[in-house]
Structure 1
Amino acid sequence: MHDPGPAFRALHQPGNPFILANAWDIGSARLLAALGAQALATSSSAFAFTLGVPDGGITRDQALAHAQDMVAATPLPVSGDFEDGFGADPDTVAETVRLAAEVGLAGISIEDNPAPPAAPYDRALATERIKAAAAAARALPRDFVLVARADGILNGHYGMEEAMARLQAFDDAGADCLYAPIPPSFDDLAKICAMTEKPVNALVAGPFASYTREDFARIGAARLSLGGGLARAAQRRVMDAFSEMIEDGSFAMLKKTVSGAKVDDMLRQFMG
């Protein structure tokens, strides 16, 4: 099997962040690749939407099958959004790493809490989970980028002090990349980037969507992920267009679409 790991790892350069394009199906993966994406990622929330269930409602088997489809869709490396590793036990997380590598992923992200609104795992267990994941990743026959997430700020369970302590513990436990989605401020994100020599992922969402790639580069971020943002942008477009049809009887927003021929041409680039 082709090893996507070295190329994916090489993209992680603090101060020169790449955009990790989160896709939600084969079509969106190929579209983003045709537009110039350097790497792709799954999104648990965006994929769950395609199945008609809320974020956190997919199983590990579903996530793996979806990831395998995404890997096969384009030549680009793909990182998996694998929630909490689909189990509290460190051995379960380690097994998830091995299974993720088997389907061809270049890396995965592991969160420190079950699906919200559940409380995060305590710091000691969260760290043991990352240590087990890192050991499993290093035992693989190929390269694999492990991202450790501290999600308590995003989910309202802890603040910056605890997030920093967890990220330091995850760093020491062997994570390749660190990630605390949506810290309180951009200055706080800069503090996270300054606390480690490891690459730091920033989620470009909410107030952080007001900043540019150059801004993120200035504070030392290495990777800019979009989460479910692109999927939600598409969903918003559908909601606005169809609501206008129902409420006003107007189909004007259908004039603002891309041509089918253009999309077809972009998708053909990845068909055998």
Structure 2
Amino acid sequence: MSTTHQAANADRFAEFRALHQAEAPLLLPNAWDHATAAALVERGFAAIGTTSLGVAIAAGKPDGVGGTREETVRLGVGIARLPVPVSVDIEGGFAERPEQVAALGVELVRAGVAGVNIEDGRADGSLTDADHQVAVIAALKEAAPTLFVNARTDTYWAGGPGASLDETTRRIRAYRAAGADGVFVPGLQDEAAIETLVGATDAPLNILYSPTGLSRARLAKLGVRRISTGSLLFRVAVQSAVDLAWAVAHDEEAAPTGAPTYAQAQAMSEVYRAD
């Protein structure tokens, strides 16, 4: 990648990295389309992520199988125009070979994307070989040094032998050594384990928010530096839309508040529209 593109993205990368070092953990809401991202920015969120499940299901495709590269890149390029850092969930990188994943990173940097989230979980529920994932992360950071790589390990989601604190620690340390800027362990809500992982590496730890789990304040006290909403906003939005339609159809009380007007929604397109 040219030094011009690296320099152009350096400010976004630095801003995003600084948000992980602030006094309070970064609350990263995850959008699935341009309108959601723009609305979240308008509300005042300092950075925006994407959700692979939301992007996939909105396109009528399954999540986690590598079939939404086109949709993911299109969304990332579009919302990178927003005035905040944007991190794109690229699942496992949409490729097996490290150089192919690195090429995707370069493409996103050129569009102005500040970061990516890349996972070691596979569609069948197993985990990618740790050495292979290290090679992918290293290639990604070498090709796109101004891209904040959030390395996700699905040890606690995969279950089985991988669902151990020791294996999780081993993986996040290896990913950090390969160049990852942050580490992400979804499915973890155990306080003692979180404290152990915070102390296991100098990379900021990302935890997935759970409505039935630890509060943002408690996660902050444990040392967590980033809290993601994952697919939660998408799933709630779908249910809210269905509930409202049902209420209208059955003459039930339906009084949504705060929805943007038609004109306000149209105005958002001037902010985030991709060519």
TM bin (shorter chain): 0.7 to 0.9
**CA separation in 2, counterparts of 1:245 and 1:203?**
34
Gaps of 5+ in 1: none
Equivalent residue in structure 2 for 1:9, among 6, 14, 17: 17
Tell me the SS of whatever aligns to 1:271: helix
**CA separation in 1, counterparts of 2:268 and 2:89?**
26
- 8 Å CA contact 1:34–1:266 kept in 2: the answer is no
1:169-224 superposed Cα distances (whole Å, 9 cap, x missing partner): 1111111101111125232222211211111111113543xx33221211111111
Percent identity, please. Answer: 28
Question: For residues 90 and 12 of structure 1, do their structure 2 counterparts lie closer, same or farther at Cα, with a shift above 3 Å needed?
Answer: same
Structure-2 residue corresponding to 1:255: 255
Equivalent residue in structure 1 for 2:43, among 24, 35, 39: 35
Question: For residues 270 and 51 of structure 1, do their structure 2 counterparts lie closer, same or farther at Cα, with a shift above 3 Å needed?
Answer: closer
Structure-2 residue corresponding to 1:126: 133
Is 2:100 aligned against 1:97?
no
Structure-1 residue corresponding to 2:86: 78
Structure-2 residue corresponding to 1:239: 242
> Residues 1-272 of structure 1: matches in 2 within 5 Å?
2-3=8-9, 4-13=12-21, 16-56=24-64, 58-72=67-81, 74-114=82-122, 116-138=123-145, 143-157=146-160, 158-159=162-163, 160-183=165-188, 185-205=190-210, 207-208=212-213, 211-244=214-247, 249-252=250-253, 254-261=254-261, 264-265=263-264, 268=267, 271=270
- 8 Å CA contact 1:64–1:103 kept in 2: the answer is no
**CA separation in 1, counterparts of 2:77 and 2:269?**
16
Moved over 6 A (4+): none
- 8 Å CA contact 1:15–1:218 kept in 2: the answer is no
Gaps of 5+ in 2: none
**Cα displacement (A) at 1:53:** 2.0
The aligned amino acid for 2:60 is: G
**CA separation in 1, counterparts of 2:259 and 2:177?**
50
**CA separation in 2, counterparts of 1:120 and 1:268?**
43
**Cα displacement (A) at 1:65:** 1.1
Tell me the SS of whatever aligns to 1:113: coil
**Cα displacement (A) at 1:164:** 1.3
- 8 Å CA contact 1:30–1:266 kept in 2: the answer is no
Give TM-score, length-normalised by structure 1.
0.86
